[in-house]
Structure 1
Amino acid sequence: MNPERLIRQIEFIREVDKLKTIRRQTLLTDGSRLENDAEHSWHLALMALVLGEYAGSSEIDLLHVIRMVLIHDLVEIDAGDTYCYDKAGYADKLQRETAVAERIFSLLPADQAAEIRSLWDEFEASKTPEARFANALDRLQPLMHNVATRGHMWKQHGIVQSQVVDRNRKIADGAPDLWTFARKLIEQAVNDGHLAP
């Protein structure tokens, strides 16, 4: 055992516990409170496990997807959650999050820091089949929460159908069948009066 390595790993684990305190602009499906980033990441990992058969590529490595979704929001510990429809917030989002990635991942021993940073970079670039599927899940999950809560957060922020379609069309890149499902959810939300046309 390398005591210095273990100390760094434990320091990282303690630091990322802060993810539980970062509130998202997504209600739990029962509408009782806002979801936190740790819950979101766990939910995506479970979605990857259950919905893997809908990935756009038959050669997808689901463990790789799960690892990506578990770390993709760690940067929000410092950067905070940027609401997906916040254009101003997205202007410097990557810059803010990249700076945090440097800080948080460098807490780990160099080999693990490089490995986890590469997962985060891969998710952000969304070029591999695994990253495209991970990003598809990252969009589908809050969409399902909005539908389950009768569009509560959409209404609160004045979001309309075209914004939801534009934001979520990336689902098709990683999971075409899930995009078909998502389109039906969006249409139903409009028909039910939970999303403005």
Structure 2
Amino acid sequence: MSVPREEAVQQIIDFIRELDKLKAVERKTRPLGLARFENSAEHSWQIAVQAMALSRYAEEPIKIERVVGMLLLHDIGEIDIGDMIVYATEGLEQRELAEQQAVKRICGLLPAEIGGTFLSLWQEFEAAATPEAKFAHAMDRSVPIILNLANNGQSWRENGIRYEQVVKRNGPAVQAGCPALWAVLKRQLDEARAEGWFGI
């Protein structure tokens, strides 16, 4: 049963207000030329734009609007649980459960039909099984690499992240979704290793 229009619009406004909190979630990478760390909202916007620009190089045919939807929503659970660097492994299962609960809570602010659609997009991204989700993962994993390569390995050096970790954790996902992108990044990562831009 649908809710009255004004009530539905107010629910959407409440959801948008909640999303504003994503701007306060700090990540580990600094925007180019800035001393502060980027936030999760900025990250989501940037990878969505990159997806639009690289969509022709996806490994399989994709519906780009689904990809953009996934990327804009994929980190909303961090409103409740914060960001964790992709290389962390401790407490991963508990974190995944907490993030799932957070996304359900946040999507639950919306009218049921819209909230269900958003939750489904988030779940599709998490499963990483469809062509769209694979491409979305490639975008999510690649932009931090791009920024680190432009920042002389800033977050890798600050967090003790080794070359092998970067390649092992990100390579399969980027390769599966956008091989052309991984071919370029892998070459640049090899050059960065020669420059000593990784942690030890």
TM-score (norm 1): 0.95
Q: What is the letter of the counterpart of residue 96 of structure 1? A: A
State how far apart, in whole Å, the 2-side matches of 1:102 and 1:3 are.
23
Alpha carbons of structure 1 residues 141 and 16: separation in structure 2 relative to 1, 3 Å: same
Query: Sequence identity of aligned pairs in percent?
Result: 40
Is residue 86 of structure 2 the alignment partner of residue 84 of structure 1?
A: yes
Q: What is the letter of the counterpart of residue 53 of structure 2? A: V
Q: Which residue of 1 aligns with 2:148?
A: 146
Q: Which residue of 2 aligns with 1:67?
A: 69
Give the gaps of 5 or more residues in structure 1.
Answer: none
Q: What is the letter of the counterpart of residue 38 of structure 2? A: E
Q: What is the letter of the counterpart of residue 104 of structure 2? A: E
Alpha carbons of structure 1 residues 28 and 89: separation in structure 2 relative to 1, 3 Å: farther
State how far apart, in whole Å, the 2-side matches of 1:194 and 1:164 are.
12
**Secondary structure at 2:38's aligned position in 1?**
strand
TM-score (norm 2): 0.94
Once the two structures are TM-superposed, the CA of residue 92 in structure 1 deviates from its matched residue by: 2.1
For 1:36, which of 27, 36, 39 is the aligned residue? 39
Q: What is the letter of the counterpart of residue 168 of structure 2? A: D
Is 70-79 or 88-97 further displaced after alignment?
88-97
Alpha-carbon contact 2:81-2:98 (below 8 Å) kept? yes
Q: Which residue of 2 aligns with 1:25?
A: 28
Give the gaps of 5 or more residues in structure 2.
Answer: none
Is residue 120 of structure 2 the alignment partner of residue 134 of structure 1?
A: no
State how far apart, in whole Å, the 2-side matches of 1:167 and 1:86 are.
10
Alpha-carbon contact 1:82-1:89 (below 8 Å) kept? no
Alpha-carbon contact 1:62-1:130 (below 8 Å) kept? yes
Once the two structures are TM-superposed, the CA of residue 89 in structure 1 deviates from its matched residue by: 4.6
State how far apart, in whole Å, the 1-side matches of 2:164 and 2:101 are.
32
Alpha-carbon contact 2:159-2:199 (below 8 Å) kept? no
Deviation by residue 1:117-164 (Cα, 9 ceiling, x = unmatched): 000000000000010000000000001111111011111111111100
- Residue correspondences, number: 196
